[in-house]
Structure 1
Amino acid sequence: MSEFAEVLAALRQVRGINPFFALDVGRPDDSWLPGTALLEGPALKDTIDAIATRYNAGEPRVAASLFFLSYTARLLSPLTATNLPIDVRPSNLWWHHDRATGLSVRIDVPQLGPRPVEALAPVVEAVHAVVPVARGLLWGNAMSNIAGALKMVVRAGVLTAEEAEERGNQLMTAPPFEGAGEFIPFPGEVTFLRRSCCLYYRVAAGGKCGDCPLVK
């Protein structure tokens, strides 16, 4: 099987888990932007500003966190489920933000690439350059999405809870996920507690997430 076919088949196999696992492929219409627009130009700042308006987030760092939380959820969910290093570098992405429906992301070519950490690092730096939100918080958002994806993968019967926790713990043996949180043993379920907070509780209608360290 060719790499192209392998990646397509893997993405098709997991897209039914839930909408966050459905990563589309191919060039979309002209309303979408290339992934490289995340790294230069006004599009990223404009999108973060739009998120701040949509959620009535008075602090720019909150909107920046919500952007990266959404961005990584749409990329890391299918990558976690397939367990393949699918190429999600900005150079192989298209993205679109709509004030009503939020963020959408798709890949251009179904191919393998560098580790997701390497693909995400330039976007972390771009977000930090626009809004000085802590890098550790952004990487915590990514790890939270990986843990959430593992929970859904277990519920779909793809992995056991033990296998999912092992996969997650392996990620947290090295930066930038080292010390991002911990998996809490619970029979048949993936339970994760992160060490940073995504700040969602600071939006007007927000609250604390299930893996939030502020939940007592």
Structure 2
Amino acid sequence: MNTSRQAPGTVVAEALQDIAAFGSFFSVESGGPAEGWHPVEEAYARGFADLVAATADRYGTGELRIGASIVQLGHAARLWSPLLACTVVHAIVPDLSRVLRADDGPALRLPADPDGWYAPAIPRLTEVLYEMVMTRHLDVLAAGLRVKVAPGLLAGNAASALVEAARAVLTARPDLADPLSALVAGLLNTGRLNGTGKVLGPDLTFRRRSCCLYYRVPSGEKCGDCSLAR
């Protein structure tokens, strides 16, 4: 990324603080003591095994692939939500390359003086956002998973998380419907997100072409965007 397009860390931090009000998945801590946190790449190399096992246990299933799917879906939401909201609401693209993960859970954190760029100055913005989340994070996590999960399912999870993040932004800022819908449409036509599902209307209702497997846990059910929820 061209450093001439960088935004001051204070501006990036203010944008992140503002959009945290949109929901828990939009909240990304910044700064603080190093204890209790580690680079997310270390967790990717371990396939988020701690969270996968804990999630499977919490939902009462012996199928670790279900735990892996739920964890990956949640992690995708924690990446897409602040990135999408900052980009559309504040025209700021926060840098997610130095993300830390909590030792004891899925929470994410950025440095005290987070890097970022002004969105209007970024050529091929859609491709940049795709690479930031899919290539640098979710593809790496997928490669580290200790259990086999279908690539199409993981891509569908990423798409579902993207659209749900967009729906939350739309609820908070309905005036941004047009740029938000255009950005989501562009992302859903990019790379592995292409063909994962279809946006059905201006409210960003989504129908994915895969299933996250949540319905297989005891007392589980099909999600609203599931391909099986006909």
| Common topology (TM > 0.5) | yes
The corresponding residue for 1:106 is: 109
| Structure 1 CA distance for aligned equivalents of residues 16 and 31 of structure 2 | 13
The corresponding residue for 2:56 is: 52
Q: Which has the higher helix share?
A: 2
Query: What does the per-residue CA deviation read over 1:132-175, in whole Å, with 9 as the maximum and x for residues that have no partner?
Result: 10122112111111100111111112544443322111012221
The corresponding residue for 2:96 is: 88
State the TM-score, normalizing by the size of structure 1. Answer: 0.85
The answer on whether the counterparts of 2:7 and 2:115 sit within 8 Å (CA) in structure 1 is no
The corresponding residue for 1:72 is: 76
Following superposition, the deviation at residue 45 of structure 1 comes to 1.8
SS in 1 for 2:22: coil
Q: Which has the higher contact order (CA 8 A, sep 6+)?
A: 2
| Structure 1 CA distance for aligned equivalents of residues 56 and 183 of structure 2 | 34
Choose the corresponding residue for 2:206, options 192, 195, 200: 192
Choose the corresponding residue for 2:222, options 198, 208, 211: 208
Say whether 1:156 aligns with 2:156.
no
The answer on whether the counterparts of 1:81 and 1:153 sit within 8 Å (CA) in structure 2 is yes
| Structure 2 CA distance for aligned equivalents of residues 167 and 112 of structure 1 | 18
Change (3 A) 1:2 1:150: closer
Change (3 A) 1:168 1:140: same
| Structure 2 CA distance for aligned equivalents of residues 40 and 157 of structure 1 | 37
Say whether 1:38 aligns with 2:43.
yes
Runs of 4+ in structure 1 off by over 4 angstroms are none
Say whether 1:21 aligns with 2:37.
no
Choose the corresponding residue for 2:144, options 110, 113, 126: 126
| Structure 2 CA distance for aligned equivalents of residues 157 and 10 of structure 1 | 14
Change (3 A) 1:10 1:158: farther
State the TM-score, normalizing by the size of structure 2. Answer: 0.80
The corresponding residue for 1:12 is: 17
Query: What does the per-residue CA deviation read over 1:58-90, in whole Å, with 9 as the maximum and x for residues that have no partner?
Result: 21110100111111111211111112442323x
Following superposition, the deviation at residue 52 of structure 1 comes to 1.0
Instruction: Mark the runs of 5 or more structure 1 residues left unpaired by the alignment.
Output: none
Overall identity of the aligned pairs, in %: 33
Query: What does the per-residue CA deviation read over 1:14-36, in whole Å, with 9 as the maximum and x for residues that have no partner?
Result: 11111211111124452333212
| Structure 1 CA distance for aligned equivalents of residues 69 and 167 of structure 2 | 22
